[in-house]
Structure 1
Amino acid sequence: MKADYDEYDFNYSDDDADDADAANFTSIPKNLLAAMAEVPVCTDWLQDSTMSLVPAVYAAVALAGVAGHLPLLLVLARGPSTSTRLHLLHLAACDVLFLAMLPVQAAMRAAERWSHGEVCCSLLGGLFSTNLCGASLMLAALGVDRYLAVVRARGWARAPRAAARRVHATCAAAWLAALLMSAPSFANYRVLSAECVYGNERGKATVRLLQVLGSCVLPGVIMSFCYGSIAWRLLRLRDARRQRALRIVYAAVVTFVACTLPYNVVAVVDVYAWSSIRPENCEEQTLRFTANLVTEVLAYSHCAIHPVLHACLSRAFRQQLLAMLLRSPAAWGRRPRAHRAAAVGPASEGASSGKTELSLSARDTVLVHTVI
């Protein structure tokens, strides 16, 4: 029985309100009431203990990642304007944006009170999700570019001067897809109890599933097809130098899977836990919280690993970086004379020699490392 109140009648008592609450309370299913009563809150101490650690880790990852990307950006900007380098510039820019957002994301979680308004909360949450999906989709776009340059080399060489437009169009499509998949993040971040959090559990589940789709499933399918085709093509050539390029392809795929797959698996487990009526015990809550923390740091560190892979696996990158460092710092931003007139054309794409960038010339310019 629901009690009706007249806003001008001051003769009701608290007992009436108690009766109404009791009536509403008894209408809840008994199994759900039992589950709600048995839900323990066991991760408060763990959240408090990691509140200062996580921002410090994210700040270190962001600092190391940005410092590693600066020489990478300089080397790429000084080289010829090939489609691979243009893709790498887009990817590096996306990585830097994501790394710059890491300290902001850590501050959002560590802040006891959010004092920057709901618009800022929604904007920052949505931008972080956009960068998370964009970094993976940009990597997939690079895989498409390498697939066209290696497996479809003849068709790729017919219109080499249009390669720059194709690169920009592909990267723009990746950004647009990331933005569309992050739309629920912009809509669901709210300021509740002075904290910038998801507005409701359903919205939180939608955001996590779209992040899994945009940062793992869709890029994973695209890269599996593209790099699998590249690997098959290189294996058929049976050339030792091409086998060396194949190892770099494997390194790129393994790095992506190792860093992002655990985080996305835990995200799916989270969605299942949120939708389940069965209450979690303390051990399960602690295990899920710890898994979220560890896999999140690993996935977010993926962007900072890219320059390390370039330095370790690309002889051309090391040679160009060393040559740049030996020059005057004032000349770092200028291209070498041999590259100033270089455009995306037959010479830069390898069309004039009948080879692609992945064919490993005598200088060992292994641009297959750019799948990383």
Structure 2
Amino acid sequence: MCSSQENVTSTENYSDFFDSSIDYDQYTQPCVKEPNRQFRSWFIPMFYSIICFLGLAGNLLVIITFFSFKRLMTMTDIYLLNLSFADLLFALSLPFWAANSMKEWLLGLFMCKAMHTIYKVSFYSSMLLLSCISVDRYFSITKAISTHRYRSKTVWYSKVSSVMIWLIALLFSVPEMIYSTVKNNTCTPYSNSSDPRRISIQTSQIVLGFAVPLVIMGFCYSAIVETLCLSRSFERNKAIRVILVVVAAFLLFQVPYNVVLFLTTLDTASGNSTNCAYDRTLIYASDITQCLAFLRCCLNPFVYAFIGVKFRNDLLKLLDDFGCMSQERFFLYTFGRRSSAATDTDTTTTFSP
């Protein structure tokens, strides 16, 4: 009897904590993001490994070719060499990020700061160098006569500007140097998903690392295409196609990631969405478009260097010297196309067909 009474009392006391008039479904439940973690654990390591391999191979070929044939003759040559070093540096950091996506960060605070800094330095330097290449092509093609007097000093100008680009990229990376830390076994510059610092860092990346280079490249390449269209050169159509490839590659690999980054920044600024499905979709989109954007580091050698006639011939000669290509195939790819390379000059390294 006593035990029964205690059970009744306990039940009554337990029911006091609940109010039948309250709709408990209106309260948000924790958003389960385990599917995102599982997807990231295999997707990112796989793609980072592919990008790392292609990035190392392509950019090392560019660097070896430059030094083997001493091609540092124009501003574009200097910028392309620095671009390859920046992309090579970035590719070398990818294995660390791949390991971090599979399990907790085990390399300590110093390596955490170093990896974030390397990523941002290589990212900003690449974007600035791509902008400088477009500016150099603009003056070389649209202002060829007026800039001819400065041709003897272009290599010196390009070396000075390259040093300035690396210093500016290092300056833009200061937030990662200061704030990157190991939190919850993860290497990150943010204290949490709603950290106001995340808004400022991501906004500066969108503006300085995408919007500004896009405006510069858009203006320069539009003017170049307009100049080439007025030209009666036999090779103008091929040169225009090269420019279109350059612009299309930049837009294809950079626009999706920056759109998602913009949406993520808006989500953080608004206090984070309460829609769990939207959050998971945004994470999926961020992972996929980021890998797409990272492909830029291994495609730049093909888009900006290998597409030029002289550079392609130098590369083929290098492969022939290393015994990677037969003499017959070497002559087929070089002397067989010599007529189409007749207009290739020192000032058209990038846009030579």
TM value normalised by structure 1: 0.75
Residue 162 (1) aligns with residue 142 (2) = no
1:361 CA displacement: 6.2
CA distance in 1, matches of 2:145, 2:35: 61
* Partner in structure 2 of residue 94 of structure 1: 86
Does 2:217 align with 1:230? no
8 Å CA contact 2:307–2:350 kept in 1: the answer is no
Per the TM alignment, residue 280 of structure 1 is displaced from its structure 2 partner at its CA by 3.0
Over 3 Å counting, the alpha-carbon distance change for 1:366 and 1:159 in structure 2 is: closer
Q: 1:314 is matched with which residue: 308, 321, 336? A: 308
Match of 2:233 among 230, 235, 239: 239
Instruction: Give the letter aligned to residue 54 of structure 2.
Output: A
C-alpha distance after superposition, 1:88-123 (max 9, x if no partner):
1111111111111111222233332x3433233222
Amino acid at match of 2:350: T
Aligned to 1:286: 280
- Give the structure 1 partner of residue 262 of structure 2: 268
Tell me the secondary structure at the aligned position of residue 240 of structure 1: coil
Cα shift readout 1:224-260 (whole Å, capped 9, x = no counterpart):
1111111111111133312211110111011011101
One of 30, 33, 50 as aligned partner of 2:40 = 50
Distance 2:106 2:83 in 1: 33
Count of aligned pairs: 307
Moved more, 221-230 or 101-110: 101-110
Distance 1:123 1:310, change over 3 A: closer
Q: Pick from 337, 342, 346: which aligns with 1:362?
A: 342
Query: Please, which of 205, 209, 213 is the counterpart of residue 215 of structure 1?
Result: 209
Q: Distance in 1 between matches of 2:83 and 2:166?
A: 11
Asked if the contact 2:77/2:349 (under 8 Å) is kept, the reply is no
Q: Which amino acid aligns with 1:46?
A: N
Higher alpha-carbon deviation: 73-82 or 133-142: 73-82
Aligned to 1:120: 111
1:338 corresponds to which residue?
none
Checking the alignment, whether the CA contact within 8 Å between 1:315 and 1:366 is kept in structure 2 is no
2:170 partner SS: helix
1:144-168 deviation line (CA, Å, top 9, x unaligned): 1112212222332213221111111
Stretches of structure 2 lacking an aligned partner (at least 5 in a row):
1-24, 324-339
Q: Distance in 1 between matches of 2:252 and 2:239?
A: 20
TM normalised by structure 2 equals 0.79
| Alignment correspondent of 2:253 | 259
Other-structure match for 2:54 = 64
Q: Structure 1 pair 125/157, CA: closer, same or farther in 2 (3 Å)?
A: same
Deviation at 1:264, TM superposition (A): 0.7
Question: Runs of 5+ in structure 1 lacking a partner?
Answer: 1-33, 330-359
2:173 partner letter: S
**8 Å contact 1:315–1:365 — kept in the other structure?**
no
Q: Contact between 1:88 and 1:370, CA under 8 Å: does it hold in 2?
A: no
Cα shift readout 1:282-336 (whole Å, capped 9, x = no counterpart) = 321121011101100000011111233368733333322222222257xxxxxxx
Partner of 2:19: none
Q: Could you give the per-residue CA deviations for residues 340-365 of structure 1, whole angstroms, max 9, x where no partner exists?
A: xxxxxxxxxxxxxxxxxxxx962545
Displacement after TM superposition at 1:39 (Å): 5.6
CA contact (8 A) 1:208 1:267 kept: yes
Distance 2:164 2:102 in 1: 34
Q: Which of the numbers 106, 115, 123 marks the counterpart of 1:132?
A: 123
Query: Match for residue 351 of structure 1?
Result: none
Amino acid aligned to 1:158: R
Change in CA separation of 1:81 and 1:275 when aligned onto 2, cut-off 3 Å: closer
